[in-house]
Amino acid sequence: MNSTTTGKPSMALWLVLAAAAGTFALTMGTRQTMGLFLSPLNTATGLGLGSISLAFAFGQLWWGLTQPFAGAMADKVGAGRVLFAGAILVALGTFITPLMTTTWGLILAIGVLSAGGAGMAGPAVLMAATTRLVPADKRGLATGVVNAGGSFGQFVMAPIAAALMVGVGWASAMQVMGLIVLLCLPAAFLLKGNSLQGAPAGQKVVGTREAIRTALRNPSYLMLGAGFFVCGFHVAFLATHLPGVIASCGLPTQWAGWSLAMIGLFNIIGSVAMGWAVGRWRMKSLLSLVYASRAIAVIIFLMAPKTGPVMLVFAAVMGLTFLSTVPPTAGLVAKFFGPANMATLFGIVMLTHQMGGFLGAWLGGKVFEATGNYDWIWYIDIVLAVGAALIHLPINEARPVRAVPAAA
């Protein structure tokens, strides 16, 4: 399934993009609603917020750890098989979570099965499949579309999860969410192929180990990973603890559901806009702008009154920057090393993202237990965002080549 480097993508290609975006919508949408279940899990198990946050934090880390290996598998045996297995694991882990009554049980269900499956059916494999199937000049927009799928999933799934919790109880709601994930299984059959199809004709594909060694010697790649660590910290803290932040402000539960939905809705806008922008400006500059914007937004939020409308506006601003880092990060990996080992190398960058995610999810619970509020996490988030804005500036990236209009 190919498209030429000139002209518009074929209808078949748009079906592939829809399949990738739909898969990301269901897996990411389900994972990003888990913060709504944190308080009911705590009440039902009596394990304490710190212990349950550890399970969520391990899930953030495991989601990242699976991605380089899932990417390497997809590069060899094809994306479709990896995505199929991943969706099954997400559904299974989510379905059995309400049956777990210990910290280790929650780590198994949330942290190993569900998060591991989501890693297999996650952005490393999906972005690589998309990059392989589109012309170089359309990769930015294509990855933006796929990334927006995850945001759309959050926008749709968060209110559904909140409504199910009210209607059938939190345990049944979580099991229904697990079954919904299975709707993405047919997409695996549309996302076939491996890295051999991403290499230019006649060019030898570099082995996985050699590609990794080359990447880890590249300072720009290392700085990119360091910045993505900060993104993971920020995203995981919000996804896991924003409902708790809202509850600590004395606001009812529905504001939490709609705030998560606002993040998802505006991340669609941010992701598509970023996909459009990466072909016009340097991606490292766009990433610096995103991280600086986060720092400013959090500072303003801390000074603002904590009302329902303020929460929605804050969530909308966070949504614009939430995962808009993914298209330029994936774009830089492809720009540095090409599409042949894209799943593996982007998977490693995703691992650094989820190492930050582990700290964001876990420290959120620990800091709240120790202080009764989330203030210190916000302060850490501001410092990290400023650091991420600065660390992208030395990345070695050539300016994008602008198309020159043909002479009349």
3-state secondary structure 354-395: HHHHHHHHHHHHHHHHHHCCCHHHHHHHHHHHHHHHHHCCCC
Task: Supply the pTM of this predicted model.
Answer: 0.72
Q: Tens of pLDDT along 143-170?
A: 777 877 877 887 788 778 888 888 888 8
Confidence of residue 56 (pLDDT cuts 50, 70, 90): confident
Number of structural domains the chain divides into = 1
> Does 319 fall in a domain?
yes
pLDDT at 401: 52
Residues 277 and 223: beta-carbon distance below 8 Å: no
Taking the C-alpha atoms of residue 188 and residue 67, their distance in angstroms, rounded to an integer, is: 17
Residue 5 clears pLDDT 60, i.e. is over it: no
> Does 74 fall in a domain?
yes
pLDDT at 302: 93
pLDDT at 136: 66
> Does 75 fall in a domain?
yes
Residue 13 clears pLDDT 50, i.e. is over it: yes
Query: Between residues 53 and 84, which one has the greater pLDDT?
Result: 84
Residue 193 clears pLDDT 60, i.e. is over it: no
Residue 263 clears pLDDT 80, i.e. is over it: yes
Residue 62 clears pLDDT 90, i.e. is over it: no
> Does 331 fall in a domain?
yes
Q: What is the mean pLDDT of the chain?
A: 82
Q: Tens of pLDDT along 349-373?
A: 888 888 898 888 888 888 888 888 8
**SS3 category, 218:** coil
Confidence of residue 50 (pLDDT cuts 50, 70, 90): confident
* Rg for the chain, CA atoms, rounded: 20
Q: What is the mean pLDDT of residues 86-107?
A: 90
Confidence of residue 14 (pLDDT cuts 50, 70, 90): confident
Residue 57 clears pLDDT 50, i.e. is over it: yes
Confidence of residue 49 (pLDDT cuts 50, 70, 90): confident
pLDDT at 221: 93
pLDDT at 192: 67
> Does 29 fall in a domain?
yes
> Does 100 fall in a domain?
yes
> Does 2 fall in a domain?
no
Q: Tens of pLDDT along 106-142?
A: 889 988 999 899 888 887 788 777 777 666 666 667 7
Q: What is the mean pLDDT of residues 279-302?
A: 91
Contacts for 121 with CB less than 8 Å, ≥ 6 apart: 23, 24, 27, 82, 83, 86, 87, 90, 184
Taking the C-alpha atoms of residue 212 and residue 214, their distance in angstroms, rounded to an integer, is: 5
Minimum mean pLDDT range among 2-11, 241-250, 297-306: 2-11
pLDDT at 2: 45
Q: What is the mean pLDDT of residues 243-260?
A: 82
Residue that the structure tokens 């994936």 belong to: 330
Query: Between residues 9 and 164, which one has the greater pLDDT?
Result: 164
> Tokens for 202?
């006649």
> Does 4 fall in a domain?
no
Domain extent, residue 272, equals: 17-193+208-391
Chain length of the chain: 408
The CATH number of residue 354's host domain is 1.20.1250.20
Confidence of residue 31 (pLDDT cuts 50, 70, 90): confident
Q: What is the mean pLDDT of residues 323-346?
A: 82
Taking the C-alpha atoms of residue 34 and residue 98, their distance in angstroms, rounded to an integer, is: 12
pLDDT at 303: 93
Highest mean pLDDT (candidates 196-205, 334-343, 390-399) = 390-399
Query: Residue 197 burial (CB < 10 Å; 0-12/13-18/19+)?
Result: middle
> Tokens for 26?
């269901």
Query: Between residues 326 and 400, which one has the greater pLDDT?
Result: 326
pLDDT at 300: 95
